[in-house]
Structure 1
Amino acid sequence: MGDPCESSVAANADDNQDSGNEVKERCWEQREALPGEYLCVICGRYGEYICDETDDDICSLECKKRLLYLLEISRSLPAQQPLVKKLPATDECYYVQDGNNKPEPQCLTNYQTDLLREKLEISVRGDSIPEPILSFSSCDIPQKLVQNLEAEGYEMPTPVQMQAIPTALIGQSILVSAETGSGKTGSFLVPIVSHCVKVKNNPQKPLALILTPTRELCIQVEEQAKLLGKGLPFKTALVVGGEAMAGQVYRIKQGVSMIVGTPGRLIDLLTKHDFELDSISILVLDEVDCMVAQGFYEQVMQIFRALSQPQVLMYSATISKQVEKVANSLARDIAYISVGKPNEPNEAVKQILIWVESKKKKVKLFDILTSNDHFKPPVVVFVGSRMGADLLSEAITIATGIKALSIHGEKPMKERRDILRSFLFGEVDVVVATGVLGRGVDLLLVRQVIVFDIPNSIEEYVHQIGRASRRGESGTAIVFVNDENKKLFPELVEILKLSGAAIPRELSNSRYLLSSFSTGKIQKKRKHGF
């Protein structure tokens, strides 16, 4: 049987081709709508054609598929419980009745639970930790949230979601470590959306607060939350620098369920506008190892003291003894969840280390970018300074003809958003970035990372090369190394050995490396939680 909208899509595709445009395959390929233009009923972008079955404007084949899926679900429900409603382009949400929202039965024996955790490399520590879930519908969350997860392509939970979601749903504070790209964001957003929908508070005060170290990560988390909360009584507020505070204050006063922000801007909001956070019942510290480091720790603690004993959910790819110590000071009876090898690079990333003297790194980079065999766009190039990012991106464009842009903390927020969007949409092949893109920003399309300047810590190195592998897709990290990085040699060699990567001859013969082995520095590092 043919696609119900096939004739309409084909007809409109011809019309669009005549005007120089093709029907878009994916939602993110479509442009934003201009004032007065038709809007896609699913995502709010420009509605390029109409589906015959619903007469609704759709932006792409991807959104058409989602709409037809929702229609199919709605037909299976009683007539008095309509599921599909035309949503506005904003994130203002309408309540959709859940109908019969009984979770699917799931009964795992203790043996099955232990076997599943062993197979998926899930380690737990703490009292009364529930068994992992095998599907989103097997836990007590709104049916509409399950449908939103399916519409966004979450066919089944990732290992970290299997264990963290049911643990968070019972109100347990948790400290979670899992490798980059493992689905940590979804594992705290699902419990938050579910909690906010079930708790009826009027007037609506924020129930959940998510703190992250960078504005880009805040934006990504909030956008994902909007998708999961679509069609539910769930609104969000973004509280970050680079945007007018007046708009953020107004947004919160209108009533929101969840706030996503950076610590500095949130403190400004609390002190200058006399906000109270006594309604917050869930606090998330994303990239917690960074959040408790010098520069963030005092801000985080100031915010925490303004709360009233919330459930605390803490996540990172790297967990140290210091992080565990801080976690124990924030919440009692914490459950510890570890998935995979969190303090080591994603195994899907192939690491290639090249010994390059500093003066020759730029030439070597140009050689890679102009090689048909070695250039695998889209590419992120990590550098150590903001000025270096600007200069190197200009040099790449001039020397190779490849369009490259830089992104760092000194650029205005709007410019950073535009650059990141152009990169994700394939309009730019190379982005030269400082560490602002090294943590948590979901670059699903990145195939290659080039570490032009190795960062000062091995944890940051793990995060940066992890950008080259998202949701199990393999990627390559090319790393330039020389004597200027000698302080990291011992830990770097350990990382390479664990991942099976080749060790450059110059690195293995380094006098500094040999002296470190002889004094037992590597063993000491491993003992203290590296």
Structure 2
Amino acid sequence: MSFSSLGLSEQLVRATSDQGYDTPSPIQLQAIPAVLSGRDVMAAAQTGTGKTAGFTLPLLQRLADNPRNGKGPRALILTPTRELAAQVHDSVNLYSKYVPTKAAVVFGGVKINPQMMKLRKGVDVLVATPGRLMDLYQQNAVRFNEVEILVLDEADRMLDMGFIRDIRKILALLPAKRQNLLFSATFSNEIRGLAEGLLDNPVQVEVAARNTSAESIVQSVYPVDQSQKTALLSKLVRDNGWEQVLVFTRTKHGANRLTQKLEKDGITAAAIHGNKSQGARTRALADFKAGEVRVLVATDIAARGLDIKQLPQVVNFELPNVPEDYVHRIGRTGRAGESGHALSLVSADEGKMLAGIERLIKKQLPRKEIEGFEPKNNLPLKPKAKADPSKARNRRPQGGAGKSFGPKPAGRSGGRGRGGQGEGQGRGQGQGRSGRPAQRQSA
């Protein structure tokens, strides 16, 4: 099936062909007709499957079918991070190459005045992070009375980053009659709750099981002591001749420390996280894509939305606290059907995190020890099954009156939730996955 058979105009099909795409991906096959029909849509797909085009192409088609003379914006796309906002804006520009559409992108970390001047000239499509968008609204630089289509991209991450208050403020300012689209790699229960109050009888599209990893990604675990991780990473980069590898750490400071150690070891590296200025983040990503930097060290928030074509390697220097983030991390490789490798350097103190990930993806990851880096403490081969509290209650006490030596009900494992954690804080508060208030983080 071709893009033209989905109902897209010749101009949009030509722009898509210019990018080397002739056959729609599964998410595009289902989402494009649904969006073109004018229905609300709730879509989930693994990262790297073309979901951005899944809403960008039909969005542009709908605007072209109903041209209006106004200052807009007519379509509003909200994203959680600066990098994802810039990526979506680039996609809008590429696909609108042959149609008269004006697009703009606004996010924090850069001067606001140029963004205000751009908006005053009028735009059809506005891509924005919630915090900067509210700043612009409060300075009378943007109005929402002409919005016809709202897109929440990676909405689960926006809630985790504490943007829920800003999002609700924006929703209250939008026209009641509009089309709403929710696109994400996965949908948490919190997102489904938000969707119930936002979407009107939506078309639901889910082309892959929730929280599963792409089959094209080869995954493995390298057991190693925490103190040996940096040395092992340097060895793997050198021995395998890796020229481009994305490495994840849990914290900003950890990313900085690792980058410095790799540089001292003669491996070009750069860090990207929420404390870096937008200029520094842009330069680091550009140098990485150009091959001037071999290792890009990133935290989860900064890496959400990074689109690096044919990225061969992703390394988890530290496992994430939340198992779902593992799926997002390794989804940076193996994109659009390409093969990729994802390996995790795991120390014994991360055993519970690894068990949580393996339960989530429903597979045991192969362990590969490297000679000279064998850990002092071995990782468990299989995640421990949670004890059944009912069986513990029914077990008779043994060895003494009033005492029970049966197993205690197992608690939650896998580390702390994300609520209240993050890279920089802002004014909004929402609910993190742990149920505690989450500060709005820098995008």
Q: Name the TM-score class by shorter chain.
A: 0.7 to 0.9
Q: Partner of 1:516 in structure 2?
A: 386
Pairwise CA distance, 1:440: 2.5
Pairwise CA distance, 1:515: 5.9
Q: Given that residues 438 and 463 in structure 1 are in contact (C-alpha distance below 8 angstroms), is that contact kept between their aligned partners in structure 2? A: no
Is it true that 1:253 corresponds to 2:120 in the alignment?
yes
Is it true that 1:333 corresponds to 2:205 in the alignment?
no
Aligned 1:136-175 pairs, distance under 5 A: 136-175=3-42
Is it true that 1:391 corresponds to 2:263 in the alignment?
no
What amino acid sits opposite 2:34 in the alignment?
Answer: T
Q: Secondary structure at the match of 2:326?
A: helix
Is it true that 1:429 corresponds to 2:294 in the alignment?
yes
Q: Given that residues 490 and 522 in structure 1 are in contact (C-alpha distance below 8 angstroms), is that contact kept between their aligned partners in structure 2? A: no
Greater relative CO, 1 or 2 (CA 8 Å, sep 6+): 2
Q: Secondary structure at the match of 2:332?
A: helix
Q: Partner of 1:23 in structure 2?
A: none
From the superposition, tell whether residues 217 and 165 of structure 1 become closer, same or farther in structure 2 (CA, over 3 Å): same
Deviations 1:409-465 (A, max 9, x none): 122212211211121122222111111343232111310011011111111111001
From the superposition, tell whether residues 458 and 439 of structure 1 become closer, same or farther in structure 2 (CA, over 3 Å): same
What amino acid sits opposite 1:434 in the alignment?
Answer: T
Is it true that 1:321 corresponds to 2:185 in the alignment?
no
Q: Secondary structure at the match of 1:467?
A: coil
Deviates most, 432-441 or 335-344: 432-441
Aligned 1:353-364 pairs, distance under 5 A: 353-364=221-232
- 2:92 is aligned, of 221, 225, 237, to 225
Is it true that 1:443 corresponds to 2:315 in the alignment?
no
- 2:357 is aligned, of 479, 492, 496, to 492
- 1:501 is aligned, of 339, 349, 365, to 365
For 2:93 and 2:87, locate their aligned partners in 1 and report how far apart those are by CA, in whole Å: 10
Pairwise CA distance, 1:288: 1.4
The sequence identity of aligned pairs, in percent, is 35
Q: Partner of 1:216 in structure 2?
A: 83
Is it true that 1:343 corresponds to 2:208 in the alignment?
no
Deviates most, 151-160 or 241-250: 241-250
Deviates most, 453-462 or 159-168: 453-462
For 2:321 and 2:151, locate their aligned partners in 1 and report how far apart those are by CA, in whole Å: 27
Pairwise CA distance, 1:294: 5.6
Pairwise CA distance, 1:320: 2.2
Q: Partner of 1:75 in structure 2?
A: none
Q: Secondary structure at the match of 1:336?
A: strand
Aligned 1:97-116 pairs, distance under 5 A: none
From the superposition, tell whether residues 341 and 216 of structure 1 become closer, same or farther in structure 2 (CA, over 3 Å): same
Q: Root-mean-square deviation (CA), in Å?
A: 2.4
- 2:345 is aligned, of 456, 462, 480, to 480
Deviates most, 311-320 or 197-206: 197-206
Pairwise CA distance, 1:342: 3.7
What amino acid sits opposite 1:432 in the alignment?
Answer: V
Deviates most, 516-525 or 414-423: 516-525
Q: Secondary structure at the match of 1:252?
A: helix
How many pairs does the alignment contain? 387
Pairwise CA distance, 1:249: 1.2
Deviations 1:195-217 (A, max 9, x none): 22222221331111111110001
Is it true that 1:380 corresponds to 2:257 in the alignment?
no
Aligned 1:186-197 pairs, distance under 5 A: 186-197=53-64
What amino acid sits opposite 1:328 in the alignment?
Answer: E
Unaligned 5+ segments in structure 2 are 369-376, 390-408, 415-443
For 1:506 and 1:524, locate their aligned partners in 2 and report how far apart those are by CA, in whole Å: 19
Q: Partner of 2:165 in structure 1?
A: 298
Pairwise CA distance, 1:274: 5.7
Q: Partner of 1:409 in structure 2?
A: 274
From the superposition, tell whether residues 204 and 195 of structure 1 become closer, same or farther in structure 2 (CA, over 3 Å): farther
Whichever structure has more helix as a proportion of its residues is 1
Q: Secondary structure at the match of 2:84?
A: helix
For 1:194 and 1:322, locate their aligned partners in 2 and report how far apart those are by CA, in whole Å: 31
Q: Given that residues 223 and 367 in structure 2 are in contact (C-alpha distance below 8 angstroms), is that contact kept between their aligned partners in structure 1? A: no
Q: Given that residues 147 and 174 in structure 2 are in contact (C-alpha distance below 8 angstroms), is that contact kept between their aligned partners in structure 1? A: yes
Q: Partner of 1:371 in structure 2?
A: 239
For 2:381 and 2:326, locate their aligned partners in 1 and report how far apart those are by CA, in whole Å: 22
Q: Secondary structure at the match of 1:206?
A: coil
From the superposition, tell whether residues 352 and 437 of structure 1 become closer, same or farther in structure 2 (CA, over 3 Å): farther
